[in-house]
Amino acid sequence: MDSRGVPPGPYRATKLWNEVTTSFRAGMPLRKHRQHFKKYGNCFTAGEAVDWLYDLLRSNSNFGPEVTRQQTIQLLRKFLKNHVIEDIKGRWGSENLDDNNQLFRFPTTSPLKTLPRRHPELRKNSIENFSKDKDIFKLRNLSRRTPKKHGLHSSQENAEKVKCEIINEDQESSVDNREISQEDVEEVWRYIILIYLQTVLGVPSLEEVINPRQVIPQYIMYNMTNTSKHGVVLLQDKSEDLPHWVLSAMKCLANWPRSNDTNNPTYAGFERDVFRTIADYFLDLPQPLLTFEYYELFVNILGLLQPHLEKVAIDALQLCCLLLPPPNRRKLQLLMRMISRMSQNVDMPKLHDAMGTRSLMIHTFSRCVLCCAEEVDLDELLAARLVSFLMDHHQEILQVPSYLQTAVEKQLDYLRKGHIKIPGDGLIAPLPTYSYCKQISTKEFDEQKISVSQAAIAELLENIIKNKSLPLKEKRKKLKQFQKEYPLIYQTRFPTTESEAALFGDKPTIK
């Protein structure tokens, strides 16, 4: 299964389900099995299905190596419930599946789920609501100005592709010191973060990944400015904060066994009780920390969780976590700090009989970080993958991006002075955007690595040869050293003794 087979876009969780079920049907080995003195063809045991699907999920970047065997069994049960598979007698739906020798087969019907369809009128309204009649920005033009490909580096060339006209100096004086309202400032924040998000995700439009009106500028501004020296959000309304007893319990486990609270009693199993108290609080929250409304947005970022796109994924998550209500962001920051420290703490007692600390953290808190308002078949796997990545990179992801503040300030400055005008009513400044490299195969990479290196070495040889300020004796010495280190490249440049002698005006020597 190609981990990049499902591009970012709306209903990505459903598309991933279809990809997994298609790959499972296409790749799961089928053979003859005997059961109760009877032979059955083109079938497989539950244990064989668990083995095969387990390897498939762990090798896929959308799910990752954190997938457990138990999660694989749960997914197969969902396959049975949704008639992706059936037992050998054709039963499905209410049947159960365990990691054993029970026989199953594929039905003749397609297991693919149809994507939900939004009513065209609703889709139109969501776009129209995003653009006010007198807005300073016409954000409906976002998809026409933003690059669509994924990649790894920033380029000013793409910024120049933004369709804009520079107002000349004579016109500047008439619009200088334009008054900016609070509403204008908020719209700038919304516009900037959406531009960056769309560019990083590489989607033609954000309209079905996130409703622009779900982007609350006040949340972003608060999350950017009201922080401690460690970057954790500070809440003015303490009633929205974690209860004192939860904070105390989290601090106890995060600093175990060096807790600052010396009043904590200690007894056998004390740390397990403290952990259960924290878990119960987070699991009882009315909605996940990343909120139901941002589910599609975070699921789309899962496609970026690959080694060569790690920096892009971090940038995307950094932006998305700024959209959260400040109490949610604070809870997420404190939770990630705690479980990350616990996972790395070699002195932490065993909290579960069958699971390591890291696996327990992911298994316990994944659903209270990310889940859909309506049950989605891959929720557990997608949430576990995201929480695993957040644990490893939470310090970078949950820090305040200074470049965003700079971009907003520049945008407001351009707006005040009327520097840049787009066709229509809006004013925008050109933004540094991402340009992306085409992915190549490992073989092509190795070939390019060799050819580029050899070209650079050959260029070095030419520089030695053409260096007129280098004394002949020193030049001979350097060339001899070069010949010793890179004989093939040297022979290509001087195939005969005559060609070598011609460089110094010597008589050719017989070798």
DSSP secondary structure letters along 221-263 = HHHHHSB-TTS-B--SSGGGSPPHHHHHHHHHHHTTT--S-TT
Mean pLDDT of 222-250: 94
* Strand pairing class (420-421; 165-166): antiparallel
pLDDT reported for residue 263: 55
d(CA 378, CA 69): 15
pLDDT one-digit tens code per residue, 423-449: 334 444 444 444 445 566 667 766 776
Q: How far is CA 29 from CA 24, 105, 294, 395, in A?
A: 9, 11, 38, 43
Q: Of 343, 363, 348, 342, which is closest to residue 270 (Cα–Cα)?
A: 348
d(CA 79, CA 73): 10
pLDDT reported for residue 438: 58
Torsion angle of C-alpha atoms 46, 50, 53, 58, degrees rounded to 10: 180
Q: Which two tokens stand for residue 196?
A: 């960056």
155 pLDDT band, cuts 50/70/90, is very low
d(CA 257, CA 349): 10
Give the best-scoring range by mean pLDDT among 128-142, 382-396, 458-472: 382-396
pLDDT reported for residue 259: 64
Structural Rg of the chain based on CA atoms: 30
Q: Give me the domain span that covers residue 47.
A: 12-105
More confident residue, 407 or 141: 407
More confident residue, 103 or 452: 103
* CATH number of 74's domain: 1.10.10.10
Percentage above 90 pLDDT, the chain:
44
d(CA 29, CA 427): 59
Res. 108: pLDDT tops 60: yes
**Residue 81 near residue 325 (C-beta atoms within 8 A):** no
pLDDT one-digit tens code per residue, 457-499: 888 888 888 888 888 888 888 888 888 888 888 888 888 887 7
Domain boundary among 66, 81, 105: 105
Q: 356-378 burial, b if ≥16 CB within 10 A, otherwise e?
A: ebbbbbbbbbbbbbbbbeeebbb
Q: Which two tokens stand for residue 159?
A: 């910024």
pLDDT reported for residue 116: 67
pLDDT reported for residue 265: 59
Res. 35: pLDDT tops 90: no
d(CA 283, CA 306): 29
Res. 239: pLDDT tops 70: yes
Report the amino acid identity of residue 212.
P
Res. 154: pLDDT tops 60: no
Report the amino acid identity of residue 368.
C
**What is the DSSP code (8-state) at residue 42?**
E
Mean pLDDT of 230-236: 93
Res. 91: pLDDT tops 80: yes
Res. 224: pLDDT tops 90: yes
Res. 145: pLDDT tops 70: no
Domain boundary among 51, 81, 105: 105
Q: Write down the pTM of the prediction.
A: 0.70
**Residue 155 near residue 434 (C-beta atoms within 8 A):** yes
Of 30-44, 195-209, 348-362, 438-452, least confident by mean pLDDT is 438-452
More confident residue, 218 or 209: 218
Percentage above 70 pLDDT, the chain:
79
pLDDT reported for residue 217: 96
Asked whether residue 465 is assigned to any structural domain, the reply reads yes
More confident residue, 383 or 153: 383
More confident residue, 243 or 511: 243
Res. 253: pLDDT tops 90: yes
Domain boundary among 45, 74, 105: 105
Q: How far is CA 356 from CA 1, 64, 125, 211, in A?
A: 28, 17, 49, 39
pLDDT reported for residue 142: 34
Q: What is the mean pLDDT of the chain?
A: 80
Asked whether residue 479 is assigned to any structural domain, the reply reads yes
pLDDT reported for residue 340: 95
pLDDT reported for residue 377: 83
pLDDT reported for residue 153: 41
Res. 123: pLDDT tops 50: no
d(CA 285, CA 365): 11
13 pLDDT band, cuts 50/70/90, is confident
Res. 150: pLDDT tops 60: no
Mean pLDDT of 348-367: 92
d(CA 80, CA 393): 36
Domain count, the chain: 2
Res. 152: pLDDT tops 60: no
Asked whether residue 306 is assigned to any structural domain, the reply reads no
Other Cβ atoms within 10 Å of 139 Cβ, number: 21
Q: Is the dihedral of CA 163, 166, 167, 173 positive or negative?
A: positive
Mean pLDDT of 219-242: 94
Mean pLDDT of 190-215: 86
Mean pLDDT of 275-299: 94
193 pLDDT band, cuts 50/70/90, is very high
d(CA 455, CA 293): 52
pLDDT reported for residue 133: 34
343 pLDDT band, cuts 50/70/90, is very high
Question: HEC states along 351-363?
Answer: CCCCCCHHHHHHH
Res. 168: pLDDT tops 60: no
Asked whether residue 56 is assigned to any structural domain, the reply reads yes
Q: Which two tokens stand for residue 498?
A: 């005559």
Secondary structure (3-state) at 438: coil
**Residue 68 near residue 383 (C-beta atoms within 8 A):** no
Res. 252: pLDDT tops 70: yes
Res. 192: pLDDT tops 50: yes
d(CA 305, CA 292): 21
pLDDT reported for residue 390: 95
Res. 366: pLDDT tops 70: yes
